[in-house]
Amino acid sequence: MWLVHVVGRSLSLDTGLAAHKLSAVPHTRSLFLTAGVAAALLTGCGEREPEPRPPEPLPPAVVPSPPVAQLTGWPAGLGRALALRLSMPEESYRLIVPELGDRRFADSSISVKVGDSIPVILVGRRGNAGEALLTVVDAEAGTGACVTWPAVEIAGRSVKQRAGAGAWRVAVERDSVTPVAIDTLLGMPSEDSASLTRTIYSLVPDVTALTDSTLRGIPFAIRRAYALPAAGISIVAAELVRTSRSEADPREQRLFLVGERMADEQAHRLVFSSDITGRADTTPVTELLVAVVSRQQRRPILVLGVEGTEGMRVHLLQRVGRRQWRISWASVVRFC
């Protein structure tokens, strides 16, 4: 009995030890696994690839400079240049370019170079007066208000057209504009001239600001007046003048105005006016040289000559919207 008991106890002890060993195996395995993972992580930390570098910043975008014509106010679609026909003191042709306007930058250079040739149309009061080839023969010279504009040669059958109503005044780059025929007050039948006169005088009261109020109360008289259809609009323009009655200090005020009438309107509306006052013998005179319509923007452009004692300046008066006109470009130099 004792032997059996002992053996049974021994078996019992062995069984308990085996159970203890069996229960300890999973715990030991987890310890080994944990240690292995930790070692792998530690090993990996020492051999990990470096972090990628941040991408290089992109170079700043190159923004192209706007064209000189845009900076100077030169009307879009008018072409690279104009040529003005002068008759005093002798006939000559001068190049008009965007860079020689009143917004000129000190470092700007003329884009049209000596030797360049430009096909042009010749424009007068009657519209298209022919075609020709313009060639630049010299460059700008001089300083200040008396800079000499580049001279050009113009070759073509219509260049030497006679003076008068049929003569051309301005050459414009071919295919850039459509010339517009202009009727003048002196060249109209009496009924038409009377109608134009009434229209011009009806616009004067709408001129709200004049530079010299000392002449207030003195009526304006029409010096020259024009009528033209352009881009579906009826346009009238005129220069008027009034003079003081003082013999000691004779002064005069010249007013240039423009009116327009759309197809759905009954009367012309004042859309632009400018005036200047000075001595009666020195006040600049404004003349409508030619009218064109830009083919790119379909906008009427009036080319004005403002002539004073020092010579002529050129203004480009452009329609920019319904009842909105402005001088978009003016020459900074005179032909002196």
The pLDDT of residue 331 is 87
Question: Residue 256 pairs with which residues in a beta bridge?
Answer: 239, 274
Q: Where are the alpha helices (DSSP H) in the chain?
A: 2-47, 68-72, 190-203
* Alpha-carbon gap, residue 84 to 171, rounded angstroms: 7
- Identify the three-state secondary structure at position 163: coil
Q: Do the Cβ atoms of 313 and 306 come closer than 8 Å?
A: yes
Please enumerate in sequence order all residues whose Cβ is within 8 A of that of 282, keeping only pairs 6 or more positions apart, or say none: 308, 309
Buried b (16+ CB within 10 A) or exposed e, 94-130: bbbbbbbbebbeeeeebebeeebebebbbbbbbbbbb
Q: Cβ–Cβ contacts within 10 Å for residue 142, how many?
A: 11
pLDDT in tens, the chain (336 residues): 333 333 343 433 344 433 443 344 444 444 444 544 444 444 444 556 677 777 777 777 666 666 666 678 899 889 889 999 887 656 788 888 888 887 765 445 677 888 889 999 999 999 998 899 999 887 665 555 555 677 788 887 667 655 555 689 999 999 999 999 999 999 999 999 999 999 999 999 999 877 777 788 889 999 999 999 998 999 999 999 999 877 788 889 999 999 999 988 999 999 999 999 888 888 999 999 999 999 988 999 999 999 887 778 899 999 999 899 999 999 875 544
The pLDDT of residue 52 is 75
Of 320, 321, 292, the closest CA to residue 304 belongs to: 292
The pLDDT of residue 3 is 36
Residue 58 token pair: 């992109």
Q: Do the Cβ atoms of 188 and 196 come closer than 8 Å?
A: yes
Residue 170 token pair: 């301005």
Q: Do the Cβ atoms of 242 and 279 come closer than 8 Å?
A: no
The pLDDT of residue 200 is 98
Q: What Rg do the C-alpha atoms of the chain give, in angstroms?
A: 43
Distance spanning both ends of the chain, measured CA to CA? 149
The residue type at 186: L
Residue 118 token pair: 């430009």
The pLDDT of residue 95 is 87
The pLDDT of residue 280 is 83
Q: Do the Cβ atoms of 284 and 308 come closer than 8 Å?
A: yes
Please enumerate in sequence order all residues whose Cβ is within 8 A of that of 79, keeping only pairs 6 or more positions apart, or say none: 118, 172, 173, 176, 177
pTM, 2 dp:
0.76
